[in-house]
Amino acid sequence: MSWEQAWATTPGDLSGRGLEAPDFDPRDLRNALGKFATGVCLVTTQGVDGKREGLTANSFSSVSLEPPIVLWSLRRGAGSLGTFIAAEHFCINVLHAEQIDISRHFCRPQVDKFEEVAESFERGIGGLPTLKGALATFECERVSHQVVGDHVVFFGLVRRYTYLDASPLAFHAGNYACLQSA
């Protein structure tokens, strides 16, 4: 089976409808999940109307090297969801340890998150906002999205990437962290 055929195969309904959820305290489950340290990213896009959107996320993962596919997820109630669904491209900007401030900036709800930090971005594929000096950037063509429970998972084909040698910004147990080599 080719990757194109495998990609076209849908996994069924993952929306959570019809599933009997265990009786977990959501806050306690979130605390348990927070024990897994993750990287921190800015996910950016440009809407069909030209408006730039961006948010801080830690739900990024590599899926495949051949073809190069990555994923990230966004809460279904997020105000920027419609823009990301309609956009053809998105960029994953992996942050380094000195980029906590820009991460916090993109966590806050604002009408235009780019207004105060416009000089920190350059234009990528299709006008996509890419963060200058990010630890890594992955400019992606959105190839699919799937509703999974209370989130939408976006899959992107990496069209261009860059990276630097620096220490990553991490997130663990609800706090930012900087990693040191063991």
The rounded distance, in Å, linking the Cα atoms of 122 and 126 is 12
Averaged pLDDT for residues 144-165: 96
Residue 111 falls within a domain, yes or no? yes
pLDDT range class, residue 23, cuts 50, 70, 90: confident
pTM above 0.75, yes or no: yes
Q: Which residue range is the domain that position 127 belongs to? A: 23-177
The rounded distance, in Å, linking the Cα atoms of 122 and 139 is 12
What are the tokens at 62? Answer: 């590599």
Residue 14 falls within a domain, yes or no? no
Residue 16: per-residue pLDDT: 62
Residue 111: per-residue pLDDT: 78
pLDDT of residue 63 exceeding 50: yes
Residue 2 falls within a domain, yes or no? no
Residue 92: per-residue pLDDT: 99
DSSP 31-61: HHHTTS-EE-EEEEEE-TTS-EEEEEE---E
Specify the CATH number for the domain of residue 164: 2.30.110.10
The rounded distance, in Å, linking the Cα atoms of 147 and 149 is 6
The total number of residues shown for the chain amounts to 182
Residue 42: per-residue pLDDT: 98
Residue 85 falls within a domain, yes or no? yes
pLDDT of residue 19 exceeding 80: no
pLDDT range class, residue 13, cuts 50, 70, 90: low
Residue 3 falls within a domain, yes or no? no
The rounded distance, in Å, linking the Cα atoms of 33 and 44 is 25
Q: Omega into 67 within 30° of 0, i.e. cis? A: yes
| 3-class secondary structure per residue, 113-164 | CCHHHHHHEEECHHHCEEECCCCEEEEEEEEEEEEECCEEEEEEEEEEEEEC
pLDDT range class, residue 3, cuts 50, 70, 90: very low
Residue 121 falls within a domain, yes or no? yes
Find out whether 91 and 130 touch, Cβ atoms under 8 Å: yes
Total number of domains in the chain: 1
Q: In Å, how far are 37, 66, 168 from 32, measured between CA atoms?
A: 11, 33, 22
Residue 101: per-residue pLDDT: 96
**In this predicted model, what pLDDT tens digit does every residue of 93-152 receive, in sequence order?**
999 999 999 999 999 887 789 999 999 999 999 899 999 999 999 999 999 999 998 999
Residue 6 falls within a domain, yes or no? no
**What φ, ψ does residue 31 adopt, rounded to 5°?**
-60, -40
Residue 136: per-residue pLDDT: 98
Residue 77: per-residue pLDDT: 92
Mean pLDDT of the chain: 89
Averaged pLDDT for residues 143-165: 96
Single-letter amino acid, residue 146: Q
Residue 114: per-residue pLDDT: 94
Residue 15: per-residue pLDDT: 60
Residue 55 falls within a domain, yes or no? yes
